[in-house]
Amino acid sequence: MARVAEAEAQAARTCWGCTWRWPPGRQWWRSSTQHSRQINEANDAHRATTRSERLRAASQPKASTVGRDGQAHASVKCWLVGAGPGPADYLTLKAVRLLEAAEVIVYDDLGSQGLRVVRLKGGCPSVFSRLASEIAALSAAGVPFELVPGISSALSAPLFAGFPLTHVDLGPSFTVLSGHDVEGTDWGAQRGAGAAPPTLVLLMAGAALGRIAARMVAGGWEADMPVAVIRSAGLPEQRVWRSSLERVGADTADAGPLSPCVVVVGRVAALGGGGGG
């Protein structure tokens, strides 16, 4: 895994839609928030040893454990940081401070070399990530770490699209589900028996959206239940489709790849309309 070339590094700096100038000497690796799936695969606990050996060979680590601030660091540390939904404006202040101070962004266990490592994860590290396995790996290696929350796209995408996630009458509660397990999810059970069904927020559902919608209707959801599909939420290329369960598959058929997208199913998805798209 070679060091990112300067042109690619510049692209990585602009991955949130605006230019971010990192201090010179920062180690950037190909795994970035643009490639969250590759990041997750790279951090699979069963592959960590092999990938770490590659990183050690590529990074040419300093023999000293003295940080760039000139201070000796008796213990190493790794921060697992949420990058937010996309635009750099939505990074937390703490995430910005850690990114400015980090010596390495983003990979496995360079912390074992005495470097300050930031593991940058899209959205919030606590939502549909391999955080538990990463915590276990860091703990087993004796590397001190800190968890830094980020803004999840499940919460922010509806606002970017111009509508609230909850409504006292139309949707007083919401559930966040993964769209990966289409067959194993009881979509009908999510409907409940109330007059106002809960709002469902589906992440990673773009590839299977048509099948999910069909299963929801078959499970008792209203065919005309509003659906909002928000692609690239918060970025200049954001696009929003407003549809229904019975039509969303057809309405997005010619859209090309929907990922990264957030799908909101529920009556709140028909509100507003002031967002991009």
Note whether residue 1 is domain-resident.
no
Helices within the chain (DSSP H only): 6-13, 36-42, 48-59, 93-101, 131-141, 153-161, 209-218, 248-251
* 134-to-82, 141, 146, 153, 183 alpha-carbon distances in Å: 14, 11, 12, 21, 28
Contacts of 247 (CB under 8 A, 6+ apart): none
Contact 143, 136 (CB under 8 A): no
Domain boundary pick from 123, 151, 179: 151
Same domain, 63 and 112: yes
Same domain, 10 and 134: yes
Q: What is residue 262's three-state secondary structure?
A: strand
The reported pTM is 0.70
Q: Which residue range forms the structural domain that includes residue 257? A: 154-270
Note whether residue 217 is domain-resident.
yes
Same domain, 67 and 195: no
Q: Write out pLDDT tens, residues 109-148.
A: 344 556 788 888 889 999 998 899 989 988 998 888 999 9
Q: Please return the burial class of 98, using the count of CB atoms within 10 Å of its CB with bins 0-12, 13-18 and 19+.
A: buried
| Count of domains observed in the chain | 2
Q: Write out pLDDT tens, residues 40-50.
A: 443 443 344 44
Same domain, 103 and 201: no
- The amino acid that residue 126 corresponds to is S
Instruction: Give the mean model confidence (pLDDT) for residues 186-210.
Output: 86
Domain boundary pick from 97, 132, 151: 151
Domain boundary pick from 107, 135, 151: 151
Q: Write out pLDDT tens, residues 249-264.
A: 999 999 998 988 999 9
Question: Is 60 exceeded by the pLDDT of residue 21?
Answer: no
Same domain, 108 and 209: no
